[in-house]
A and B are shown apart, each in its own frame.
Chain A
């Protein structure tokens, strides 16, 4: 029994860690969608760039922390440049145009990364104190790095919450999400605000990418699969809502990880092992989509719909 409890704690931590990572991605995506009404499929490309930048800068400076900071600055810059050059042309146009244009950006960034860094991918080695596992409770060992991810992502989430809810810029962002014409009518430079929000969204995606790089290595196209899950998160959470993205991300992370971990055992109770091992992986990979369907039936606007939309 004790072993099962330990396993459950570990799996919940795994789910929490995955969920927080999803939040970092979904936060930028939902802000851009909510405020600028732009569907940005290329959000995953910033995730990829964050990982590549971090691996490169960490190798150059021989410091993980310095590499991470430089990578954040670089993805912020790239994000703002992309807004100025490409996204700005898309405001007010059909969502299908957004999808086409940002899909083109995905292809562009994948090819760019192949030209600059080559097809093989890159490693981001961890500092020694993060690359071992720690005993968080008696007999509960957990990788130190994953624990660090949880702490760092929670800190980012809290900061984001404080900025959006309790600062002037945050107020403008919220106002922009509710009624952009009124905001610009009041003399706010909405263009600048858009560039800033897009850049911060890109930097958050870059942060998620650089956090994942030591676990997954930097790979071309690494952002595409996780972007699908991030889209699920913002749909469940309610488009444009940071709070919704947070709750939904944790929820999706837990359902995906814990479901994957325990579904096979659950199935084995009621069917033959062969049938269970055939069915469980298939069903567990569908779990989050089932969750999305259920939420949408119950709350078509998502868990935390943004007013004025």
Chain B
């Protein structure tokens, strides 16, 4: 009997030793899309995260780091499963990633219920900025409405009197069109929501645009859909007739396939590859050297996410059990963001500037995105009032 007890306690000791040993390294779960037509976005995010780890000497807060990459297949139910797996069986300290708002919304509750700190490197649904906000959630991107709201301001500057809005029928699409409507002062003469993500042919919508004869068209089509929409907009002969304004439709992952079609089509962004701060110069140069291609805003936000997580672990000297202290540290946004400095609002979404971006042809025939002007400075999303956090 005594022998059994001794063995049992020895076992218990070995268990607690291994539990201690676990905290000698940091485990990060990474949920993004690595298969299907939008895998190119997930790859860009993974590349940027890995580059950030290179720049941090492969350590987070001085501790060795293990990253577990999970593919959400762009499906909310898969994203939720993968998030639960990361929490329950991998016991990760942080979860980073999330391209799609509907995937994040599905994965959000299991993560914050388990008090796992979750950093969205792209998706910014209005619900999480507002009534669902949580101390365990941080964004290194934007709230969905912010970027199109900046586009709306630019459309006012250009004297657009009326506009036709088109976007996909899912959480982010609705936020995006709401965002334009929040700032655009002209008349909205048409609004279309298309099936997402499987509708890729926009002939019916483009015919309606032609019939409505608007001053301008605003669209939001992220990833491959942006290539398809733009192709069809040009083929319908509309590019020369009706100016197109975009959010998240033209970026470094889509530009190689949009090609000349994208020239002269403006968009807004909180990060553009040519922002002149030192952190960004290093990020863009090293990314190009390592991966032989240019990073996109998805990558830039993920690079920031790695540094945000690092700042939290540094602040608690590697003791990741101190969640409250880590959250306090993250609220300071105390790291060199590639977008330049920003601060966090009460809902843990950035308060930041948005720039006008345009596609131009460089001398060597390559197409690049360029910052043209600052549309709005220190912009905060419109949902922070609904968030109960102070």
| Contact in complex: B207, A11 (CB < 8 Å) | yes
Beta-carbon contact of B211 and A285 below 8 Å: no
Q: Size band of the B side of the interface?
A: 35 or more
Does chain A have a CB within 8 A of B47? no
Is A14 in contact with B204, judged by CB distance below 8 angstroms? yes
For the A-B complex, the count of residue pairs with Cβ-Cβ distances under 8 Å equals 105
| B residues in contact with A146, CB < 8 Å | 203, 235
Q: Quick check: is B91 within 8 A (CB to CB) of the other chain?
A: no
Q: Is the CB of A215 within 8 A of B224?
A: no
- Are B210 and A141 within 8 A (Cβ)? yes
Measured between beta carbons, the chain A residues less than 8 angstroms from B159 are: none
Residues of chain A lying within 8 A (CB to CB) of residue B236: 133, 141, 143
Report chain B residues within 8 Å CB of A133.
235-237
Please report which residues of chain A, range 207-250, place their CB below 8 angstroms from some CB of chain B when the two chains form the complex: 214-217, 219-222, 225
Please name 22 pairs of A and B residues whose Cβ atoms are closer than 8 Å in the assembled complex, sorted by A: A4-B211, A10-B210, A11-B204, A11-B207, A14-B204, A119-B40, A119-B43, A120-B253, A121-B40, A121-B257, A131-B235, A141-B237, A143-B235, A143-B237, A216-B228, A220-B35, A220-B37, A225-B198, A257-B203, A281-B193, A281-B195, A284-B195
Q: Is A132 an interface residue (CB 8 A)?
A: yes
- Report which residue of A17, A133, A264 has the largest number of chain B beta carbons within 10 angstroms of its beta carbon: A133
Contact A277 B193 (CB under 8 A): yes
State whether the Cβ of B367 lies closer than 8 Å to any Cβ in chain A. no
| A residues at B contact (CB < 8 Å) | 3-4, 6-7, 10-11, 14-15, 17-18, 110, 114, 119-123, 125-126, 131-133, 141, 143, 145-146, 214-217, 219-222, 225, 257-258, 260-261, 264, 277, 281-282, 284-285
Chain A interface main SS type: helix
Judging by beta carbons under 8 Å apart, are B203 and A14 in contact?
yes
Q: Name the distance in Å between B36's Cβ and chain A's nearest Cβ.
A: 5
Q: Give Cα A114–Cα B39 distance, bound, in whole angstroms.
A: 10
> B232 contacts the other chain (Cβ, under 8 Å)?
yes
Contact B39 A217 (CB under 8 A): no
In the complex, B382 has a CB within 8 A of chain A? no
Q: Report whether A261 and B237 are in contact in the complex, using a CB–CB cutoff of 8 Å.
A: no
Which residues in B have their C-beta under 8 angstroms from that of A285?
195, 199
Cβ-defined contact, B36 with A220, below 8 A: yes
Q: Which of B43, B191, B201, B203 has the most CB of A within 10 A?
A: B203
Which residues on B sit within 8 Å (CB–CB) of A215? 201, 228, 231-232, 235
State which residues 221-245 of B face A: CB under 8 Å. 224, 227-228, 231-232, 234-237
A18 to B205, CA, bound (A): 14
| A120:B228 contact, CB within 8 angstroms | no
CB distance from A56 to the nearest CB of B (A): 14
Contact for A123 among B193, B207, B234, B259, CB less than 8 A: B259
Q: Which of A7, A120, A141, A216 meets B200, CB within 8 Å?
A: A216
Which chain B positions have C-beta within 8 A of A221?
Answer: 35-37
Bound CA span A216–B235, Å = 12
Verify if B256 is at the interface (C-beta below 8 Å from A).
yes
In angstroms, Cα B235 to Cα A299, docked, is 40
Q: In the complex, are the beta carbons of A132 and B203 less than 8 A apart?
A: no
CB distance from B293 to the nearest CB of A (A): 10
Decide yes or no: A261 and B204 within 8 Å by CB, A119-B40, A121-B227, A133-B235 being known contacts: yes
Residues of B within 8 A of A284 (CB): 195
Q: List B contacts of A260 (CB < 8 A).
A: 194, 204-205
Residues on A with C-beta less than 8 A from B191 are 277
In the complex formed, the residue of A with least CB distance to B43 is A119
Q: Is B282 an interface residue (CB 8 A)?
A: no
Q: Is B208 an interface residue (CB 8 A)?
A: yes
Most buried by B among A125, A146, A215: A215
Bound Cα distance A126, B260 (Å): 13
A258–B203 Cα distance when bound, in Å, is: 10
Q: Does B169 contact A (CB under 8 A)?
A: yes
